[in-house]
A and B are shown apart, each in its own frame.
Chain A
C-alpha cells in the first residue's frame, strides 16, 4: 500500500498523520521550524516570501479558533494568501458533500488545504481526491490525528530537552478520544523516545493502545514517577454523559496534575498541554502557571512548526 503522505520521491506530499513518516522528515520539519523561530530567542518570527502567490484555504468543518488562527498566522508569515472557511456542521445540512466543497475550492485555485473535520479519515479522503499539485494538511480529524500539534510538541520537547533518545514521556488523560495523543505517540516513538507512557482510567483508553508501543498506567502516581515530560490532554465535558467518568471532581482527584503529583516526575520535568485547558479538571492552576509549564511557548512554537510544514510542502 502506498503511503498517501509521500510523493514518488519519498518527499512529503501531504501531512495527514505522524504515523508512517520517516524520522528524517520529522527532523527536517523541526530543523526548519528552528530557523523560523527568532535566533536571538525573542518571540518575534520573521516574515519570509516562501509562499508568495500561493493560496492557502483553511477549511474547518469543526470549530476551532486557536488552531485556525495559528495556521493563518503561519501562512501569512510565509506571504501566502489565506482564505478562512468555517463550514461548521452546517455544510451537510445544506446538502453539499465534503468532496463537493473541496471541488469548489479547487476551482478557486487553492494550492493548499488546511482541514479540520470531526470524522476520522476526512483529511485522507480529501488528499486522495485532489489534484497532485495540491497539498493537504490535517489540522485534526476525529479521533485519528493532529500531526502539527504533535510536531510542535516535539519541537517544544527538543527545545527544552535537546535529545529524544534518553527521555521518558507520560501522556495523561483521555487518550481514547484524542487525536493529539495518537499523533504524539507516533511522533515520539519515531523520534526514538525509549519510553512513552499513557496514564488514564480504563474507560479513557482505546482497547489496543499497547499495540501503539506505549506502557499503560492506570495509577497516576506510578505513571509520573521519574518522567522527563508530562503531556496533559484536554478532558471534554461530554465524557461525563457517556458513562465514561462519574464527575470532573472525581477525575481531578485521581488524574488531575497537581504540584504534589508533579513532584514525582524528574525535578526538571516539563509540563505540556495542547489547550484549551480545563483548570481544576485535568490540571491545577498552580501547575499550569508554574515554572515547569511550557504551555505558552508551545503556542509560539506552533506557528514556526506550521510555517515549516507549509514551506516543506510547497517545495515538494
Chain B
C-alpha cells in the first residue's frame, strides 16, 4: 500500500535527520522523504501535524512469557502492548519454560509471532541447556532457527570454565553473548540494593559488588576469548565506570540499562512497594546519576523496557516474597522522553537509544528510516498528557512502579512493514 505521512516532524537518529518532512511508503518500504516519488499516488494519508515520526522502537529486553507462563502473558497480549508503545522489534530473553534452548522452541515462537504480524520478535537463545550453566546449547542450530544472541537471562552461570568455553564457542561463529552480571553467591536471597533502604526495612541485600565482580569476570573472559559481549541491565555507578574503561580499551563490549533504573532509586521502595521489586535492584541516587551520565556519553548503548509481566498474585505478597519484574512495553517511549526532557538531551540523541543502537546490538538492519528500509514507524504526539492507569494497559502484566504517574508523549500510530498495526 502507498502511504503518505504528512506534516510530521521526522526524527531519524541513524541519518541525523530532525526536520519537518513528509514520508512516503511504497511496497512496505520507505520510498521517499520530503518529496513524493514520481507517480506516487497515496492510498492512505496519515496527518502527523504536531506529531513526531520516528523509526519503530527496538526493545532489547521484553519477556513475552511464552512458552510456559501463559497465565502471566501471551504473545497476543504482549504484542498488543508492544505496538501500543510504538515498539516494532523486540528481543525476548530465553527464560521461558522450557527455556529457549531447542531450535524447535525458537521456530515455534517466531512462527507464532509472525502469524500475529504485530511486532518483530528476536528470540535470544539460551547459552546453556536449561539455563543450568553446565552444558552448551547447539548455538549454530539455534542461530539458524533465528536466535540473534545467546544469554543466561537472570539464571546464574557460576562455573567460569563453562562461561569461558561458551564465549569461545560463540566467538568461533561470531555470535553475540549477552550477560547480566550478578554474582549468585553475593546476591543469594537478596531482594534490594545493599543500601540505606534495605538496612532500614530489613530487606535481604544485593551489594553492588555482586554486579562488579561478575562484570569483571565477564570482561576479562571477553578479552581472552574475543567474543562480542553485551552487558544487560547495568545498575551501578561502579559498573558504568568499568564498561566505560573497557570500551576505551577497545574491547568489543556494549551495554544497556532498563528504563526503570534511569528513573527510580531504592527510595521508591517507600514502605515495601512490591512494584519496585525489580532485578537488578533499584540502587542509590548516585548510581542513577551515573547511569544517566553513561547514557549521555555513549557508554550505555541502549535503554530497554525490561518488560516482565507478573500476575497480581505474585505481587500481592510481602516485598521479599513477591516476584521481581514490572510491565514496561507501553512506557518505554514516554520514559525515554521524560529522561530526555529532564536531562535536556536532544531527541535525536535520546531516540537513538531505542532505535538504531539496539538494532545494532541485534545485528539487524533496522531502527532507521533510510530509503529502502522496512517501514517500521512510530508516530507519537509529544504534547499528549496521560496518566498511567494499570487497568488501561494492554499488557497482561499490570504491575508498574509508575502506577499513577503523569506522562507526556503518546503513541498515535504504529506501522509495521508499511501496515498500520496500531492507532489511537
Interface of A with B (CB < 8 Å)?
Answer: 1, 4, 19, 97-99, 117, 119-122, 124-125, 141-145, 179, 182, 206-209, 211-212
Contact = CB atoms under 8 A, between A and B. Distances in A.
B316 interface: yes
B12 interface: no
B270 interface: yes
A182 B199 CA distance: 9
B198 interface: yes
Contacts of B313: 97
Sorted from nearest, which 7 A-B pairs have the closest CB atoms?
A: A143-B202, A121-B272, A144-B202, A119-B318, A206-B199, A208-B199, A122-B318
A97 B199 contact: no
Interface string B258-276: 0000000000001110100
Contacts of B316: 97, 99, 125
A207 B317 CA distance: 26
Given A142-B203, A211-B200, 7 more contacts: A121-B320, A122-B318, A141-B318, A142-B202, A142-B320, A206-B199, A211-B196
Interface string B380-411: 00000000000000000000000000000000
| Chain B CB within 10 A, most for which of A1, A98, A120, A141 | A120
Nearest to A16: B271
| Chain B CB within 10 A, most for which of A99, A117, A121, A144 | A121
Main secondary structure of the interface of B (DSSP, over half): loop
A4 B316 CA distance: 17
Nearest to B316: A99
Interface residues of B, number: 23
Nearest to A177: B202
B122 interface: no
A206 B271 CA distance: 19
Contact of A206 (B198, B319, B320, B321): B198
Contact of A121 (B195, B199, B205, B319): B319
A198 to B, nearest CB: 12
B194 interface: yes
Contacts of B319: 119-121
A124 B272 CA distance: 7
A120 B271 contact: no
A98 B318 contact: yes
| Chain A CB within 10 A, most for which of B200, B274, B313, B317 | B200
Contacts of B116: none
A19 B200 contact: yes
A81 to B, nearest CB: 28
Contacts of B320: 119-121, 142
Interface string B204-233: 110100000000000000000000000000
